Amino acid sequence: MNTTISNNGLPKLPQPPSGQGNSATQGPSGTTSSDAASSGAGSTDRVQLTDSARALQEAARTNSGATMDTKKVEQIRQSLANGTYKVDAGRIADRMMSLENQINGKS
């Protein structure tokens, strides 16, 4: 089963040239000899990360300089504790629809 995720404009990560970075040899089915040895008899399952997945993995690893507004976090924490936190269901629905449209490639 192959699943492809487009890179959606994320930068491409540098890839090692073919044949480098893996000492295993590639067999006729596209699996490496180390894959075949570790995956059992006749299994051809493979995992291949897309550029998007690699970029997301790298962003998660480096935390990409994300900052947190500790004052706002504390205000929300207090509102939750006091029972005064208000949820704007319309705003949440609008943002969910916007995300859905982005995922489906609509403007």
pLDDT tens per residue across all 107 residues of the chain: 555 555 666 667 667 676 555 444 444 554 444 444 554 566 788 888 898 888 888 877 766 566 788 999 999 999 999 999 999 999 999 999 999 999 888 86
User: What 3-state DSSP class applies to 79?
Assistant: helix
Q: Could you tell me if 60 and 85 lie in one domain?
A: no
Select from 50, 66, 82 the last residue of a domain. Answer: 66
Q: Could you tell me if 14 and 51 lie in one domain?
A: yes
Q: Which helix (H) or strand (E) holds 35?
A: helix 33-39
User: Does this model's pTM top 0.85?
Assistant: no
Q: Could you tell me if 6 and 55 lie in one domain?
A: yes
Q: Could you tell me if 9 and 50 lie in one domain?
A: yes
